[in-house]
Amino acid sequence: MSLTPFHIAFPVDDLAAARAFYGEVLGCPEGRSSPSWIDFDLFGHQIVAHHAPPRAEPAHANPVDGHDVPVPHFGVVLDLPRFHDLAERLRAAGVRFVIEPHTRFEGQVGEQATMFFLDPAGNALEFKAFADMDQLFAS
């Protein structure tokens, strides 16, 4: 499956903290930047951290397979070895998981490994992996 890279821009209240988290913890190479934004390469996708004031609205979550999934969130679907490597990298960096790495929909169509965590600005990220990538959009 060949995908076109996506682009997403999201707010952060501290560009230095975003640079450390996305660049050092997640290992995203940095692209262009300015005093108010930073481009990162997130597994081949362009994400842009834009400086913005802290948000005051409360976090929202929806129930999915017995967990409260934060909304909104973004992330990448990885293969299983990269998923497990990233989970260990996050643990080693002391990142607290909102939802610990686990298998969701076990034994069902769409079975997947998933994990949720927050960046320093409180943006929720989900990374997931499928043993069978053909089930990415299975219903």
The string of pLDDT tens digits covering residues 43-93 is: 999 999 999 998 877 789 999 988 999 999 999 999 999 999 999 999 999
Domain coordinates in residue numbering, the chain:
7-51, 64-135
What strand order describes the sheet that includes 7-12? Answer: 7-12, 45-51, 37-42, 30-34
Residue 134: both structure tokens together: 């053909």
User: According to the model, what pLDDT value does residue 84 have?
Assistant: 97
Q: Exposure of 26 by Cβ count < 10 A (0-12 exposed, 13-18 middle, 19+ buried)?
A: buried
CATH number for the 7-51 domain, one of 3.30.720.120, 3.20.20.100, 3.40.50.970, 3.20.20.150?
Answer: 3.30.720.120
Class of domain 64-135 (CATH, top level):
alpha beta
Return d(Cα 5, Cα 105) in angstroms, integer. Answer: 27
> How many C-beta atoms lie closer than 10 Å to residue 27's C-beta?
14
Percent of the chain with pLDDT over 70: 99
Q: Which amino acid does the sequence have at 9?
A: A
Return d(Cα 120, Cα 38) in angstroms, integer. Answer: 15
Return d(Cα 67, Cα 104) in angstroms, integer. Answer: 10
User: According to the model, what pLDDT value does residue 1 have?
Assistant: 59
Query: Are 135 and 110 in contact, with CB atoms under 8 Å apart?
Result: yes
Give, for 34, the enclosing helix (H) or strand (E): strand 30-34
